[in-house]
Each structure stands twice: as C-alpha cells, then as structure tokens.
C-alpha cells in the first residue's frame, strides 16, 4: 500500500518534535506524583494555579489523607481548608471528594484505565484525561494546556484555534501518536523558558527560530 505524502504541517511537526526532544531530553510532567490517583488530584488543583504551588499544597493534603480511602472519607470542608491556596477551593474540594468516592466505590481505589471512564469522573476534562492516559498508562495523548494552545498557534501547527478540543483534534492529524505526550511536556518547558507568554519571547535563542511562523509576535 502506497504511503501518503506528508503535509507541510506534518513535516513541520516532525521537525519541531525532533528539535524540542534534543533541547529538552528529560521533559516530564511538572506535577509531582508517585501514584495515579495523586495525579488526578493534582491536575484538578492545577486549574488556574501554578504547578509549583500545587506541588507544595498536595504535600500537606497527603500528610493528612495518604490514600484514596482516607481522602474519600474526608469532610469536604477539611479538604477545602488545605487546597484553598490553589484557588477555587470549594469547587476543587468538592470535585476531589466526589472523584475519590467513585474510585473507592466503583474502582477498588484504582484509577480507571480508559479515556471515557476518566472523562466521566468529577472535575476531569479532556486535558486531564489525556494527561493520565499518557503519563500513567503510556497511551497516546495530547494535552492541550495553555502552553500547548499558545505555542502550536505561534509555531503555525494550528491556525488561530483557541478551543482546547479543536486544538487537540487538529494536532492528532499531524503529531505521531507515540510522540504526543512527551511533545506536550516539552511545550510546557519551552513555553516557560523561551517562548514566553507575558514577555516578548526569546526568539534569538530559540531552537525553532528558523522554522517558527511567529504568529502573533510583533516583528
């Protein structure tokens, strides 16, 4: 069967993947966890909060509630007291409590292994479900966080798309499935260090300078 020729965007994506891999060979998830359920908790807390702050707060949470059972049994008010510094404390506490109860009651305190089951959990959206699938279960995943959306638009991999699901669907067409998870982690590293949001990006020291579309950057 004849292979279809790669599109310009597919070729660009492969080159970007190769260069970012060389630049950030050890890029991993910036949320600290050693069990799957902890990543579920952290990714909910990370909404509108920095990963660094989340990593500090969850240490206090797990000191008091070290497993799914104890967190599922915990009073929502007590959870909220601890997670409040992450913002949206009440909403996040309710979601974490409800999520842990489902893990306890339906999954024997384990994290479900399918995308649809993850998506059905309280407080879990496509971004979170993809992160779990990629990092915990080693499955193809594209995590469309703010870095991914901003950088893929800037680079020219997607064209003016800001809605996370639409960005995800567009990237599935050009990113090899086995590369998606690591690629998205590297976008986070690159977005923080070089291709910044709140300052003028450091294009002069960017490994993608000669191939980036530089969309939205004042020339």
Active-site annotation holds for 218: no
C-alpha 133/C-alpha 142 separation (Å) is 9
State how far Cα 149 lies from the chain centre: 11
Q: Are 143 and 184 in contact, with CB atoms under 8 Å apart? A: yes
pLDDT tens digit at each of 219 positions of the chain = 445 678 999 999 999 999 999 999 999 999 999 999 999 999 999 999 999 999 999 999 999 999 999 999 999 999 999 999 999 999 999 999 999 999 999 999 999 999 999 999 999 999 999 999 999 999 999 999 999 999 999 999 999 999 999 999 999 999 999 999 999 999 999 999 999 998 899 999 999 999 999 999 986
Residue in 181, 147, 180, 178 with CA at minimum distance from that of residue 164:
147
Domains of the chain (ranges plus CATH)? 8-27+143-205 (1.10.1670.10), 36-135 (1.10.340.30)
Model confidence, pTM? 0.93
State yes or no: is 219 an active-site residue: no
Question: What SS3 class is residue 1?
Answer: coil
Evaluate whether 144 touches 171 at the Cβ level (below 8 Å).
yes
Which residue in the block uniquely carries the two structure tokens 């974490």?
96
Structure tokens, 112: 């479900």
Catalytic residue selected from 51, 95, 135, 145 = 145
Active-site residue, from 127, 135, 165, 204: 127
């Amino acid at each position: 069967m004849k292979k279809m020729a790669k599109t310009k965007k597919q070729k660009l994506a492969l080159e970007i993947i190769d260069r970012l891999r060389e630049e950030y060979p050890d890029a991993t998830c910036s949320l600290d966890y050693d069990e799957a359920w902890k990543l579920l908790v952290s990714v909910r807390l990370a909404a509108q909060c920095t990963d660094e702050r989340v990593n500090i707060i969850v240490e206090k949470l797990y000191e008091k509630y070290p497993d799914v059972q104890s967190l599922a049994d915990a009073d929502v008010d007590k959870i909220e007291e601890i997670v409040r510094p992450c913002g949206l404390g009440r909403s996040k506490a309710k979601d974490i409590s409800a999520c842990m109860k489902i893990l306890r009651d339906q999954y024997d305190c384990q994290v479900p292994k399918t995308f649809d089951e993850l998506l059905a959990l309280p407080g879990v959206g496509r971004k979170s479900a993809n992160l779990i699938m990629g990092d915990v279960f080693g499955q193809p995943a594209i995590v469309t966080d703010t870095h991914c959306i901003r950088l893929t638009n800037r680079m020219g991999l997607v064209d003016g798309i800001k809605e996370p699901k639409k960005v995800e669907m567009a990237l599935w067409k050009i990113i090899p499935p086995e590369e998606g998870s690591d690629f998205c982690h590297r976008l986070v590293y690159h977005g923080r260090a070089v291709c910044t949001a709140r300052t003028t990006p450091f294009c002069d020291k960017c490994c993608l300078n000669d191939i980036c579309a530089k969309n939205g950057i004042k020339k």
